[in-house]
């Protein structure tokens, strides 16, 4: 058994070393990316199915890598979370998104709410709510224009501290949404206790609704659940007309997905149109 163990050790160590080296390299590149302004935000509109108007946008970070091109967050957000970079990165995202939202308002463009993803580590900083307040003050953005997206697991660990932070944010007028709703281990009993505005229904619940009656009834249940909790709903990952029509039949009007708009730069999003103009 001992020899076997040693063999396994030897077998795993080379690939693991290579992975660790790649990881370290990515990590140091990522610190530089933040310092050198290689990160950019793209924005994906959310629309109201009844009016067809843009009622909000979600900010999604990308890395404009000098040699590899545009890199998506799935590749670097987990790394940033592990090495602590998520705090300065998250701060940059929030500040940049609020600046952009304020800039659209100054141009008379009504994009609705600016939704920003907040990682667990960032949200759990004791001074998080204060840093949001400072960013709103610095950018002059109305708190009601900002929506923070947090996941179920972010608030299910350390429930009391989470509620305190959420209450402080909502007291300022900031909106709170649960991201990827239905994929975490939500305790429904707990969910009632959280000061929340909106649930973002995870796109996995939309996947087979046109072909699988069970999928359709599951999505229906989730919409009814959200409504019974008094929460607003947004469905994400809407990729086709059938999904949009089903959601409309459930009176889940707020949607986001490739069927309507891809995430795009601030300039491109303005080019899409579909938003209102401020009086
Ligand atoms: P998420 O918050 O669930 O964001 C939605 C993701 O779904 C985005 O991927 C978006 O491009 C993609 N998406 C939108 N519509 C559709 C659709 O119709 N079909 C499909 N298949 N996908 C769609 P993206 O931009 O690659 O982001 C991935 C994840 O990275 C996000 O998932 C979020 O968890 C994280 N992330 C992105 N930006 C930030 C950020 O600024 N801070 C933090 N902490 N996390 C971020
Ligand atoms: Ca999100
Ligand atoms: Ca999501
Ligand atoms: Ca996610």
Give me 88's structure tokens.
């300065």
Rounded CA gap, 140 and 102, in Å? Answer: 7
Using an 8 Å Cβ cutoff, are 139 and 99 in contact?
Answer: yes
CA dihedral sign of residues 188, 194, 197, 200: negative
Identify whether the C-beta of residue 209 lies closer than 8 Å to the C-beta of residue 243: yes
Q: Whose CA is nearest to atom 43 of ligand 1?
A: 117
pLDDT of residue 25 exceeding 80, the answer is: yes
- Mean pLDDT for 114-132 is 98
Q: What proportion of the chain, given as a percentage, has pLDDT over 70? A: 95
Q: Where are the alpha helices (DSSP H) in 44-85?
A: 73-83
Q: How confident is the model at residue 8 (pLDDT cuts 50, 70, 90)?
A: low
Counting ligands in written order, the one closest to the CA of 120 is 1
Centre of ligand 4 from the C-alpha of residue 112, in Å: 22
Tally Cβ neighbours within 10 Å of residue 61. Answer: 22
Element (H or E) spanning 60, and its range? strand 54-65
Digit-coded pLDDT (tens) for 49-85: 999 999 999 999 999 999 999 999 999 999 999 989 9
CA separation, residue 176 to residues 201, 207, 220 (Å): 14, 25, 22
Residue 67 Cα to ligand 2 midpoint, Å, equals: 27
Span 230-244, average pLDDT: 96
CA–CA separation, 172 and 142 (whole Å): 10
Name the residue with the closest Cα to ligand 1, atom 42. Answer: 117
pLDDT at 43 over 80: yes
Q: What pLDDT sits at residue 258?
A: 97
Instruction: Decide the pairing of beta strands 54-65 and 113-117.
Output: parallel
Ligand at shortest distance from the CA of 46: 1
Q: Please tell me if the CB atom of residue 179 comes closer than 6 angstroms to any atom of ligand 1.
A: yes
**pLDDT of 1 above 80:** no
DSSP code for 203: G
140-192, pLDDT tens digit by residue? 999 999 999 999 999 988 999 999 999 999 999 999 999 999 887 767 778 88
Assess whether the C-beta atom of 258 lies below 6 angstroms from ligand 1: yes
Nearest to 225 by CA among 190, 246, 199: 199
225, pLDDT greater than 70: yes
Tell me the best of 41, 73, 81, 180 to mutate to test the pocket of ligand 1, counting ligand atoms within 8 Å of each CB and taking the most: 73
Decide: residue 243, CB within 10 A, 0-12 exposed, 13-18 middle, 19+ buried.
Answer: buried
From CA 103, how far away is CA 215, in angstroms rounded?
41
Q: What is the mean pLDDT of residues 239-261?
A: 96
What is the sign, positive or negative, of the torsion defined by CA atoms of 259, 264, 270, 271?
Answer: negative
Q: pLDDT by residue (tens digit) across 87-105?
A: 999 999 999 999 999 999 9
Q: What is the mean pLDDT of the chain?
A: 93
Ligand 1 mutation pick, 30, 39, 59, 60, max ligand atoms within 8 A of CB? 60
Q: Are 55 and 46 in contact (CB under 8 A)?
A: yes
Angle subtended by helix axes 2-35 and 73-83, to nearest 10? 100
Q: Residue 142: name the closest of 188, 101, 193, 96 by CA.
A: 101
Angle, nearest 10°, between helix axes 73-83 and 86-106? Answer: 130
**The model's pTM:** 0.94
In this prediction, residues 210-237 reach a mean pLDDT of 94
Q: How much is the pLDDT for 10?
A: 61
Cα 38 to Cα 40: distance, rounded to the nearest angstrom: 7
Say what the pLDDT of residue 9 is.
Answer: 57
* Residue 88 beta carbon below 6 angstroms from any ligand 1 atom: no
């Amino acid at each position: 058994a001992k020899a076997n163990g040693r063999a396994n050790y030897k077998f795993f160590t080379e690939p693991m070393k290579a992975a660790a080296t790649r990881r370290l390299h990515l990590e140091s590149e990522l610190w530089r990316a933040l310092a050198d302004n290689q990160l950019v935000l793209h924005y994906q509109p959310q629309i109201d199915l009844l009016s067809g108007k843009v009622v909000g946008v979600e900010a999604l970070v990308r890395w404009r890598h000098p040699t590899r091109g545009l890199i998506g967050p799935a590749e670097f957000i987990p790394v940033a979370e592990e090495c602590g970079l998520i705090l300065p990165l998250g701060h940059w995202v929030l500040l940049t998104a609020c600046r952009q939202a304020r800039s659209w308002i100054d141009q008379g463009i009504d994009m609705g709410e600016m939704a920003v993803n907040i990682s667990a580590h960032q949200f759990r900083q004791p001074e998080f709510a204060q840093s949001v307040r400072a960013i709103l003050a610095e950018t002059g953005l109305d708190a009601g224009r900002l929506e923070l997206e947090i996941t179920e697991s972010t608030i299910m660990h350390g429930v009391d501290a989470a509620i305190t932070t959420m209450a402080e944010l909502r007291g300022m007028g900031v909106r709170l949404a649960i991201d990827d709703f239905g994929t975490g281990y939500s305790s429904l009993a707990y969910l009632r206790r959280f000061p929340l505005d909106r649930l973002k229904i995870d796109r996995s619940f939309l996947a087979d609704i046109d072909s699988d009656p069970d999928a359709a009834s599951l999505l229906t249940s989730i919409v009814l659940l959200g409504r019974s909790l008094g929460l607003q709903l947004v469905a994400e990952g809407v990729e086709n007309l059938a999904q949009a029509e089903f959601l409309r039949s459930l009176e889940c009007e707020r949607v986001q997905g490739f069927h309507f708009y891809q995430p795009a730069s601030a300039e491109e999003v303005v080019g899409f149109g579909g938003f209102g103009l401020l009086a």
